[in-house]
Structure 1
Amino acid sequence: MKQNLILKLIREQRWLILFGVISSMASALITIGTLSLISSLISGELLPYDLDKLTGLYSLFGLALILFLMSFLSTLSLNRLGNQVIEELRLYLIDKVLKSSLQDLEKIGWNRIYAIFTTDVPVIGQGFRRFPLVVLNGTIIVTAFVYMAYLSFDLFLVLAGVVAVSVTFSQSTLVRKIHIYSDKFRTSHDTLYKHYDDLIHGFRELKLSRDRRKQIIEGDATENIGNMATQANKRDMFTAIYTGWSVFVSFFAIALIIYLGSFVFAVSNEALVGYSVVLLFIRGSIMNLIDAVPVIVNARVSLNKLSKLEMAEELATGRQIDISTDGVTLSFQQLRFRYETAGNEAGFALGPFDLTARPGEVIFFVGGNGSGKTTLAKVMCGLYRPTEGKILVNGVALSDIDMTSYRDLFSMIFFDFYLFNRVHDDCLSAEQQQLLDLMLHKLELQDKVVFDQGQITANKYSQGQRKRLALLATVLESKPIYFFDEWAADQDPEYKAVFYFEILPMLKAMNKIVFVISHDDKYFHVADQLLRMDRGTIYQVPTGAAATVSARSVERAQVDSLLMQAVVE
């Protein structure tokens, strides 16, 4: 994945990269030309008080202007490259997540995915933003070495040997240690985000339990944060050693070159001056490269994290599933699902089960906690891939390539639902506006919610109101199949009556298939089919039995409905 991602980014930005490299090389050549001219002035070949040789000064001024222009162009183009790469990377990751299966994402863990978006993407961005400096300074150093080889090849061989020994030691020891502790630090970040998640979403429970606070926050989180500090300190220690070593080698190289050029090799004064000027000048470029190394190492660690994400893309969309005004018929034949587990231990199994749902049918799933109702919902909606069996739409069996189109048939409210700010499109048809007004009235939200171009303008709503807003948005989607996972569980009695006696019949009249996970036994008689679940096994409850189950509650439910109608009127 990492190589493919880098190649993709390079391919898409190849012209910007080419322009940046060419302008950087031109800037480096001009820099060395300027240094050559300066060394000639210092050595006395061009004297500023010699009126016949003032051309040298004019040339120096002209080269400085050209150098400014080329440096500006190269830095601007490569900075723009870095920004565009980050934009592409963010869009790539969003697309990658959306094309992955829910099962893969749950295996990875949401804290790791969150860490990638909030930590790895910015770190990779910092690495790419250092890329302009690396290209520019690297080109200057290479060009300077070529120029020094021209001045004295013997001194160049000595300098090359010193650089080779220094780089070998740095890469094999110091940079490797920086990479090791950067990787450990980044790995600890995944755990840190899990602790953040515990703190934010478990705040109420933590406030109520001293023992839990001590175990999770004061224990696990404190230990992990302490480990991160230790890893960061060790990483920074080797970074400091690497920087100090590079400074030492640069000055040692200058002293060695001057000594050998003066007492060992027959080197001209002009060549020695040229070496001294160039080495002193490129020391700034060398320090820029040294400063970039830890940033690039961190970017490499983050890229490795991305490459280890096991997010296989689901197959592209196959055929478009036909949806008629009469709705769709959905069938499941011998459908099975089993969770994958590490080792030989058998995971939770669901099925086999057979079910046919026709347009205008309301089907309830009931059963205790842990019986597999939510897992069944994810399998039926296509979020989990069945282990065995067939899914048929209008009598046609679906293949893996059809699952994207199949999922688009559903609109679902999960028990742990998420409410998006955008509830409906900017422009609604007259029919959609009528449905919106009707739903707002039924759910008593007409005086509580204000929309701005389809978005909710406030976010201070109770959990019950948020869930009713989610129901509103779901109904407005006008999908052929609806799935409600215990929607009415935390609603007041009057809204339960609206849901079971008004919303469900309305969807039924619109030829929608409606699946409901429910514990409200007094409303079981509303269902056309009642399915009971127990440890992954599904039992069909006869319609008469369903009516018997809820007979004691029918009268009370009807009273609730009449009271609600009176309130509406």
Structure 2
Amino acid sequence: MRDIPSLALLLGPAGLLRRHALALTVAGLAGVGASAATVALLARINVALHRPAGPLGEMALAFVGLGLAMLAGRATASALSNRTGQTIIRELRLMLAQRILAAPLDALERYRTHRLLPVLTGDVGMVSGLCLSLPMTVVAASVVLGCVLWLAWLSWQLALLVLGALALSLALQRWAQDRAMLRFEAARDDEDALHKAWRTLGDGAKELRLSRGRRRQLLDGRIARHADDIARAQVEAGDLFALSFEASAALYFLLVALVFAAARWWQLSSEVAGGFVLALLYMKGSLDQVLGFLPFYARARVALGRVNELGACFANPEPGQVSDEPPQLLHSITLQGVRYAFEASEGAASFALGPLDLQLRRGELLFIVGDNGAGKTTLLKLLTGLYRPQQGRLLLDGRPVEDAGRDAYRQLFSPVLSDFHLFEELPETERPAAERDAAAQAALERLELAHKLTVQDGRLAGTDLSTGQRKRLAMVHACAEARPVMVFDEWAADQDPAFRKRFYREFLPALRAQGHTLVVISHDDRYFEVADRVLVMEGGQLREAPAAPTDVSRP
């Protein structure tokens, strides 16, 4: 079984629970006060059952006072616990989001999306439930402890008998928990694999409908297998906890019978025996709450381990993500002796790009061409600062781009990558919102999307779009940002011939005329004469392409 981290994320020196120690302490004290009032109320009831009744008004006042104290304590503990728990959940979610946003891109890519989303949804939800249920479980445990202390005051012999039975119940639960943890951990591994299969349902929808064999492979070979494994592991774990819980319940009622027998053996008064039975019956609910928390805690430990693992993977943020102002591109961007290598993983072979040299001059329109897998996208990630060179240097106007200034350097670029993501909102810019929206509206009209989309307070509202139209919309976002360098990775691949021609003959020259530096990955050799330079990427190396003859008559 994987080594599961402790509760350091919650209880460590900078743990989430320790940040709210004051509120949780007040909640705990309120719960303890409610438990004390509960025990006092039970004692009053026991006295009333076995002794002549005192003045009715005095008894009623005592019952009302203790009842109100119990209600106030439990309500205070519950309210504070709920508020603190929700605050902790919020902080946990924000912490994870901040770490993911601040992590280097290659670290995020290595973690894989099918592993990331289950942590941010299921595991965070499980840890959230732990934060919400833990304080009230502590209150329930304080009720049990208060009752045991009262029982010890009544008869230490019977109290030892009760403590022995409770210790045996806890031992049964621990036995079940240790074995169930193995099942929960195995089920959690299958959850990652199942989530990967869920993504295939959507991403490969067209291919799956065209191949019965693939459908059988996905449904029977992956989804059904992992679903069966998860169900089997959860059932086995649940059976273990159910067996231990029911055994504890049977032992508890046997304990009540033993109390009566022991009371007669030791010739204890009926008040003592009645007090024990009354306390045992009352604290049964609180004890069940404590024992019922243990299965949930076992699952939450597995989830907490995954959350800790995610946090550890992204514990080293990139510096300078919020402080430095974006620089200016005055002359050139240079890659000098840059190299970046990928290790073989999950069936993918190792690959190395470089060492290579490249200078992108301000105002230049540069085409990069090459076969799939040649390293073009990796080159773009190095050029835009998304990847840190493993060897060599990235220079802006002759000055090295250091780690602290890498994020500021990235703000020079407006990209439309091949695996682009469409955001609902237009990006924030230094320009006024009205000016940004106007630029987006003008781009919609140039890209023939104005009949489908409108700009409303920084949001693009409209109907569903085709793949080619979605790429045009991504270009609208880039135009709204209007950064110095614009990057287009196979942008024209999904456009019809007429629009592809407009992209190369009209849009790119217009953007260059506006002062943008342009980097275009393309396979459209008929339009290479539009570029100032064409570079060829082969096997991770760059070379200058031979000059193409100019033929404006070509479509």
Query: Which TM-score applies when normalising by structure 1?
Result: 0.90
How far the C-alpha of 1:525 sits from its partner, in A, is 1.4
The match for 1:317 among 316, 320, 325 is 320
Once residues 287 and 64 of structure 2 are traced to their aligned partners in structure 1, the CA distance between those partners, rounded to angstroms, is 25
Aligned length: 543
Residue 111 of structure 1 is matched in structure 2 by 114
The match for 2:477 among 473, 478, 494 is 473
Residue 260 of structure 2 is matched in structure 1 by 258
Residue 214 of structure 1 is matched in structure 2 by 216
**Identical-pair percentage:** 31
The match for 2:44 among 17, 34, 37 is 37
Once residues 263 and 470 of structure 2 are traced to their aligned partners in structure 1, the CA distance between those partners, rounded to angstroms, is 80
Residues 12 and 495 of structure 1: is their aligned pair in 2 closer, same or farther, counting only changes over 3 Å? farther
Contact 1:182 1:231 in 2 (8 A): yes
Query: Is 1:302 matched up with 2:292?
Result: no
Query: Is 1:202 matched up with 2:200?
Result: no
**For residue 461 of structure 1, what is the amino acid of its counterpart?**
L
Once residues 185 and 437 of structure 1 are traced to their aligned partners in structure 2, the CA distance between those partners, rounded to angstroms, is 50
Once residues 441 and 307 of structure 2 are traced to their aligned partners in structure 1, the CA distance between those partners, rounded to angstroms, is 46
Residue 393 of structure 1 is matched in structure 2 by 396
Residues 118 and 195 of structure 1: is their aligned pair in 2 closer, same or farther, counting only changes over 3 Å? same
Q: Aligned ranges for residues 284-363 of structure 1 at < 5 Å?
A: 284-309=285-310, 310-317=313-320, 320=324, 323-324=327-328, 327=330, 329-341=332-344, 347-363=350-366
How far the C-alpha of 1:266 sits from its partner, in A, is 4.8
Which consecutive residues of structure 1, in runs of 5 or more, have no partner in the other structure? 558-569
How far the C-alpha of 1:431 sits from its partner, in A, is 4.9
Once residues 191 and 345 of structure 2 are traced to their aligned partners in structure 1, the CA distance between those partners, rounded to angstroms, is 24
| Secondary structure of the structure 1 residue equivalent to 2:465 | coil
Greater mean alpha carbon deviation, residues 452-461 or residues 33-42: 452-461
Residue 516 of structure 2 is matched in structure 1 by 512
How far the C-alpha of 1:479 sits from its partner, in A, is 1.7
Residue 166 of structure 2 is matched in structure 1 by 163
Query: Is 1:126 matched up with 2:129?
Result: yes
How far the C-alpha of 1:26 sits from its partner, in A, is 0.9
Residues 432 and 304 of structure 1: is their aligned pair in 2 closer, same or farther, counting only changes over 3 Å? closer
**For residue 223 of structure 1, what is the amino acid of its counterpart?**
R
The match for 1:532 among 533, 536, 540 is 536
The match for 2:235 among 233, 247, 259 is 233
Query: Is 1:268 matched up with 2:272?
Result: no
**For residue 269 of structure 1, what is the amino acid of its counterpart?**
S
CA displacement 1:153-181 (0-9 Å, x = unmatched): 2222222223223322331x211122221
How far the C-alpha of 1:125 sits from its partner, in A, is 1.9
Residues 538 and 312 of structure 1: is their aligned pair in 2 closer, same or farther, counting only changes over 3 Å? farther
Greater mean alpha carbon deviation, residues 66-75 or residues 428-437: 428-437
How far the C-alpha of 1:11 sits from its partner, in A, is 3.2
CA displacement 1:102-161 (0-9 Å, x = unmatched): 222222221111111221122222222222330210111111111111111222222222
How far the C-alpha of 1:459 sits from its partner, in A, is 4.3
The match for 2:467 among 460, 463, 471 is 463
CA RMSD of the aligned region, Å? Answer: 2.3
The match for 1:22 among 29, 33, 43 is 29
Greater mean alpha carbon deviation, residues 265-274 or residues 515-524: 265-274
The match for 2:194 among 173, 192, 195 is 192
**For residue 381 of structure 2, what is the amino acid of its counterpart?**
K
Q: Aligned ranges for residues 388-537 of structure 1 at < 5 Å?
A: 388-424=391-427, 428=432, 431-537=435-541
Greater mean alpha carbon deviation, residues 69-78 or residues 188-197: 69-78
How far the C-alpha of 1:2 sits from its partner, in A, is 6.4
Once residues 214 and 267 of structure 2 are traced to their aligned partners in structure 1, the CA distance between those partners, rounded to angstroms, is 77
Greater mean alpha carbon deviation, residues 212-221 or residues 464-473: 212-221
Once residues 41 and 154 of structure 1 are traced to their aligned partners in structure 2, the CA distance between those partners, rounded to angstroms, is 24
| Secondary structure of the structure 1 residue equivalent to 2:548 | helix
Once residues 261 and 37 of structure 2 are traced to their aligned partners in structure 1, the CA distance between those partners, rounded to angstroms, is 29
Once residues 184 and 440 of structure 1 are traced to their aligned partners in structure 2, the CA distance between those partners, rounded to angstroms, is 50
| Secondary structure of the structure 2 residue equivalent to 1:555 | coil
| Secondary structure of the structure 1 residue equivalent to 2:554 | helix
Residues 402 and 2 of structure 1: is their aligned pair in 2 closer, same or farther, counting only changes over 3 Å? farther
| Secondary structure of the structure 2 residue equivalent to 1:457 | strand
Once residues 517 and 461 of structure 2 are traced to their aligned partners in structure 1, the CA distance between those partners, rounded to angstroms, is 32
Contact 1:162 1:253 in 2 (8 A): yes
Residues 434 and 166 of structure 1: is their aligned pair in 2 closer, same or farther, counting only changes over 3 Å? closer
How far the C-alpha of 1:340 sits from its partner, in A, is 2.3
Query: Is 1:85 matched up with 2:92?
Result: no
Once residues 63 and 222 of structure 2 are traced to their aligned partners in structure 1, the CA distance between those partners, rounded to angstroms, is 63
Residue 564 of structure 1 is matched in structure 2 by none
| Secondary structure of the structure 2 residue equivalent to 1:450 | strand
Contact 1:246 1:290 in 2 (8 A): no
Once residues 38 and 263 of structure 2 are traced to their aligned partners in structure 1, the CA distance between those partners, rounded to angstroms, is 24
How far the C-alpha of 1:449 sits from its partner, in A, is 0.8
| Secondary structure of the structure 2 residue equivalent to 1:313 | coil
How far the C-alpha of 1:463 sits from its partner, in A, is 1.4
**For residue 555 of structure 1, what is the amino acid of its counterpart?**
S
Once residues 433 and 128 of structure 1 are traced to their aligned partners in structure 2, the CA distance between those partners, rounded to angstroms, is 43
CA displacement 1:425-474 (0-9 Å, x = unmatched): 59946654553343222111222212221212234111111111110111
Which consecutive residues of structure 2, in runs of 5 or more, have no partner in the other structure? none
How far the C-alpha of 1:348 sits from its partner, in A, is 0.2
How far the C-alpha of 1:357 sits from its partner, in A, is 1.4
CA displacement 1:53-105 (0-9 Å, x = unmatched): 54123201221122112211111111222222222222122112112222222
Residue 554 of structure 2 is matched in structure 1 by 556
Once residues 58 and 198 of structure 1 are traced to their aligned partners in structure 2, the CA distance between those partners, rounded to angstroms, is 67
Query: Which TM-score applies when normalising by structure 2?
Result: 0.92
Once residues 151 and 476 of structure 2 are traced to their aligned partners in structure 1, the CA distance between those partners, rounded to angstroms, is 74
Contact 2:338 2:356 in 1 (8 A): yes
Query: Is 1:367 matched up with 2:365?
Result: no
The match for 1:379 among 369, 382, 397 is 382
How far the C-alpha of 1:339 sits from its partner, in A, is 0.4
How far the C-alpha of 1:4 sits from its partner, in A, is 5.0
The match for 2:18 among 5, 11, 20 is 11
How far the C-alpha of 1:194 sits from its partner, in A, is 0.7
| Secondary structure of the structure 2 residue equivalent to 1:308 | helix
| Secondary structure of the structure 1 residue equivalent to 2:408 | helix
| Secondary structure of the structure 1 residue equivalent to 2:337 | strand
Residues 328 and 94 of structure 1: is their aligned pair in 2 closer, same or farther, counting only changes over 3 Å? farther
Once residues 36 and 495 of structure 1 are traced to their aligned partners in structure 2, the CA distance between those partners, rounded to angstroms, is 86
